[in-house]
Amino acid sequence: MSAPVPDTRRTSGVRQRGALDPRGGSRASDSQPFPVSAAWRPGDPVGRRQFVEVGAVELEAGGVLPDVTLAYETWGTLNERRDNAVLVLHALTGDSHVTGPAEEGHLSAGWWQDMVGPGAPIDTDRYFVVAPNVFGGCQGSTGPASPAPDGAPWGGRFPMLTVRDQVAAEIELTRALGLDGWHLVVGASMGGLRALEWAVLGPEAGIAVECLTVIAATAQSTGDQIAWAHPQLTAIRSDPRFRDGDYYDAAPGDGPHVGLGIARQIAHTTYRSAVELDARFGRIPQGGEDPMRGGRFAVQSYLDHHAAKLARRFDANSYVVLTESMLTHDLGRDRGGAVTALRAVTARTLVVAVDTDRLFLPDESVRIAEHVPRAEPATMLRSDFGHDGFLVEFGQLGPVVGDFLSRARPRST
């Protein structure tokens, strides 16, 4: 979701410390250097996380990653019939902290506060909700910042992961929780890719998926999505402080936050719409800055703000690993093609798109709904916020998801 535009002004013709200055923060008053990585590490405050060791995971691209751990959070109570469990899957830079305050162990408040909780559309008075941090992520689950068998961080040695690998780890989490099925699997953006994989891979592994909600996602990554991601990955890898992924021992301020910030700026442009950016910012200069004399436009300051914000709460290696997992996403790989794979989905399915989404185009959601046998016609959110509409348009999305759940309520609730 959007944050207020920071007011970084020029003084005596020299711009104050900018969002990506390695010496300090996003504003002149913030003298703290950027952390090398904001990844959660063993010994950090646990917060509301729980952990499950899922063991070795055989990777789709080859090889085995040993000793995989998933961090997760839960809300609500599992009923006696064990049929009220809901799996919530986060987007690229999200984590397991779906709802709840920013507090020790959690740098940010929950990313879907209006959707999950007592009386919310995903009602924790009725459902047992589980949200894992994705395999390859940086907030407690095994990822590049985690210790390898030799005790050092995996760093640049961390292997290629696919969406299927991530779901395979989540299947083991499901078994560790003593569940043989989910009443609902729901995800948006990258989480929607995993939700689709769950609808195929889960039943193949003996884990039932009764209902499915896929929001702002696709059955297979497109050339356009791969193209947008390429300069993001290049920005991170070209940062001299990236050190081929082995930067965890560097001093604060000496990490790859510049490359990570630029990647976020590129990505954030795809998360919002041209309509919103022009209406909200247009050609307005930032504060007292003069774009004719080296100053910024307000929209540039806005992107600087989001670059700095992500650099303080995420990890560059995880950004690379997760982005590449999205690029290789193809539900139809080794399944006869995407349409054949979609037709194999047995879950009752709700598909939601955002009409101004320029990352995962609405037609891609319509395609999912057209080919999944038990899917309802795709629901279209009307929004000026683009892809981020799934985080912003609660007034539209909440009732849609709530109604879908009310019509597919577990027998025991």
The residues annotated with a catalytic role in the active site are 189, 357, 387
Measured from the Cβ of residue 66, the count of other Cβ atoms closer than 10 Å reads 10
Strand, coil or helix: 286? coil
**Nearest Cα residue to 363 out of 195, 185, 222:** 222
Tokens of 223: 């050339």
At position 386, the amino acid (one-letter code) is G
Is 409 annotated in a binding site? The answer is: no
- The answer to whether 306 touches 3, Cβ cutoff 8 Å, is yes
Q: Are 90 and 134 a contacting pair, CB within 8 Å?
A: yes
Residue among 173, 181, 175, 195 nearest 89 (CA): 195
* Spatial contact of 365 and 214, defined as CB atoms under 8 Å apart: yes
343 is in an annotated binding site: no
Rg (alpha carbons) of the chain, rounded to whole number: 21
Non-local CB neighbours of 85 within 8 Å, separated by 6+ positions: 78, 127, 128, 129, 130, 177, 179, 181, 182, 183
Longest dimension (CA), the chain: 69
Residue (of 218, 228, 240, 259) closest to 361 by Cα position: 218
Encode burial over 267-284: b for 16+ CB neighbours within 10 A, e otherwise. Answer: bbbbbbbeebbeebbeee
- Length of the chain counted residue by residue: 413
Straight-line distance from the first to the last Cα atom of the chain, in angstroms, rounded to the nearest whole number: 33
**Checking phi first, is residue 242 left (phi over 0); if not, alpha (psi -120 to 50) or beta?**
alpha
Tell me how far CA of residue 378 lies from CA of 123, 251, 401, in angstroms.
Answer: 23, 49, 12
Residue 380 burial class via C-beta count within 10 angstroms: exposed 0-12, middle 13-18, buried 19 and up: middle
Binding residue positions for substrate? 264, 388
Binding-site entries = 264, 388
